[in-house]
Structure 1
Amino acid sequence: MPRRRQPTARQLRLGSELRKLREAAGLKAREAAELLGADSVQMSQIEYAIAGVSETRIRRLAAHYACADEELIAALVTMATDRTRGWWEEYRGLLPTSFLDLSELEHHATFRWDVDCLYVPGLLQTEEYAHGVFSHRVPELPQSELGLRVEHRMKRRTIIEGAQPTPYTAVMHEAALRIRVGSRAASRAQLGRVLELSEADHVTVRVIPFDLDGFIDAGSAMVFAGGAVPKLDTVVRDAPHGSAFVDSEAQLGSFRTLFRRVEGASLEPERSRDFIHRLAKEL
């Protein structure tokens, strides 16, 4: 298979999972390569997503690694053989690759959890709100890129508004709902949008009010995307130079616990809708 110049996050994850399986089996890259009739350089290229890998090779490696998790193996095969070119590919070379990687991750997610304490989550944002968020970036974005980022964010909403929507839960702090990104009218429209989407069967919106005692998880903002199997779950967090994709088993366990804790501290969905209605009336 031809070498890749810039692997996607999904391709990197496949290589990472194959490396984890090899290490769990106690084999060196050279030893695993011999099983495929290859050398250690070729094995490294597969594990670092510089080169692709076939279904036959994945299954052969899994057998030698004594991996009995058939669901995981099938999921890895799908990751390796899927040739989908999603709508996000039209932005390649125009937007940072982290934007495209997030879109691809969302496209394949089996569920999605968002926690946000300062902004309404991207999937729930109106176009005007998203424009306001990107407009305040430092350094200031050129108008052409600003428009592309807003357009891209609006297209991402297809995962909760399309024909086969992804189950979605958003937990927001009251601060995220009160901070005005744009005009009073824009803020009112944004709250209306959240309320509209919260009525869908596959969407759950929960609010954490200011007057909640003992809430100290204000720094817990995250995107949690469910994989085909739990081992392939992914957390996305903001980092100084872009988005950071987290996939270590220990960290995923911590983030699952964190989400449940934040979810448990929030108002029930019906009470959350009433809460947002009251905020909207104040504007």
Structure 2
Amino acid sequence: MPVRKPSTERQRRLGAELRRMREHIGMTINEAATVHRTDRTTVSNTESARSGVSSDRVRVWAANYRCPDASYIDALAEMARERGPHWWDEYRGALPAGLLDIAEMEHHAAALRSAQIMHMPGLLQLPDYMRGIFAEAVPPMSPTDLEQHVAFRLRRAQILDRSDPPPCEFLVHESALRMRFGDRRVLLRQIEHLLRQAERPNVAVRVVPFRAGGFANAGSSTLYACGPVPQLDTVQIDVPTGVTFLHAETYLVNYRSVLDRMRERALEAGESIDFIRQVAEEI
């Protein structure tokens, strides 16, 4: 396979999984190259996503690594088989690569769980609300960049309109319902939109009210994308340096726990809708 640059998060994840599979049985790169009847450069470039890999090669390497999990292997082979271009590739070079990786992750997710503290969930935002958020960006965005970010986020939201949309659970803290990005009318329209989106059969919006007290991960935003098999789940978090993706098993276990603990503090879906309406009346 030819060397490619730059790789996407999904491609890097596939390479990382092949590396983990090799390391799990204690095989070195040189030993793997011998078993695969190739050279160590090919193994190294594949694991680091500097070069592509076919689905057939994924299956051969998995067999050589004696991996017994057929569902896991099928999912990895599908990752290798599925190629673009996709709609987010239109933005390549114009927006940070991490944003495109988020869109790709959402596109392939079997389910999505989102935790939001100060903002409404990105997939459920209206354009004017988005503009209010992006207007606070550091460093400031130009008007053109701001509108491009709005258009991109709206395209991401179209995942909810697919014929097979993923099940989505949005955990929203009360502070996000009350924080104004834009004026009062913008916030009211955003809340009304949130209520409409909550009527979708695949969307569950659950509110964590102030009275629930503190909870895990209160200071950040988390998106947990469920893969076709649990080993391929991905956590995406926003940090001051940009978008970060986590997929080591320890991270997955910890973030599942974080979301589960926050969920325990959240109101049930029906109660959450009533709570959102009450907040709207108070604004």
TM-score, normalised to structure 2's length?
0.97
- Contact 1:220–1:258, Cα closer than 8 Å, also in 2: no
Q: What secondary structure, in the 3-state scheme, does the structure 1 residue paired with 2:41 have?
A: helix
Separation (CA, whole Å) in 2 of partners of 1:143 and 1:8: 27
SS at match of 2:31: helix
**Residue number in structure 2 paired with 1:35:** 35
- Contact 1:158–1:165 (Cα < 8 Å) also in 2: no
Q: CA RMSD in A?
A: 1.1
Structure 2 match to 1:150: 150
Q: Aligned partners of 1:57, 1:85: CA distance in 2, in Å?
A: 22
Does residue 208 of structure 1 match 2:239? Answer: no
Q: Secondary structure at the match of 2:130?
A: helix
Indicate how the Cα distance of structure 1 residues 45 and 214 shifts in structure 2: closer, same or farther if over 3 A, else same.
Answer: closer
Q: Does 134-143 or 106-115 show the bigger shift?
A: 134-143
Q: What is the Cα deviation at residue 253 of structure 1?
A: 0.7
1:113 and 1:80 map into 2 onto residues whose CA distance is 25
TM-aligned CA deviation for residue 220 of structure 1: 4.9
**Structure 2: which amino acid aligns with 1:150?**
V
Q: Which amino acid aligns with 1:192?
A: E
Tell me, in whole angstroms, the C-alpha distance in 2 between the residues paired with 1:33 and 1:261.
44
Spell out, residue by residue over 1:205-258, the C-alpha distance to the aligned partner (whole angstroms, 9 max, x if none): 000111124535412520000101000000000122211000001110111111
Tell me how far 1:53 sits from its aligned partner. Answer: 1.2
In structure 2, what is the equivalent of residue 85 of structure 1? Answer: 85
Residues 178, 48 of structure 1: CA spacing in aligned structure 2 closer, same or farther, 3 A cutoff? same
Shift in alpha-carbon separation, 1:214–1:105, aligned structure 2, 3 A:
closer
Encode CA deviations 1:81-107: one digit per residue, 9 max, x unaligned.
112321111101110101111001000
Equivalent residue for 2:253?
Answer: 253
Match of 1:112 in 2: 112
Superposed structure 1 runs of 4+ greater than 6 Å apart:
none
Partner of 2:189: 189
| Alignment gaps of 5+ in structure 1 | none
Does 2:58 correspond to 1:58?
yes
Within a 5 Å distance, the mapping from 1:200-239 to structure 2 comes to: 200-215=200-215, 217-239=217-239
TM, length-normalised to structure 1:
0.97
Flag the 1:220–1:259 CA change in 2: closer, same or farther, 3 A.
farther
Distance 1:132 1:262 in 2: 27
Residues 168-196 of structure 1 show CA distances to partners (whole Å, capped at 9, x for unaligned) of: 00001100110001010000000001000
Report what 2:74 is aligned to.
74
User: What is the number of equivalent residue pairs in this alignment?
Assistant: 283
What residue identity is the alignment partner of 2:256?
A: R
Structure 2: which 5+ runs fail to align? none
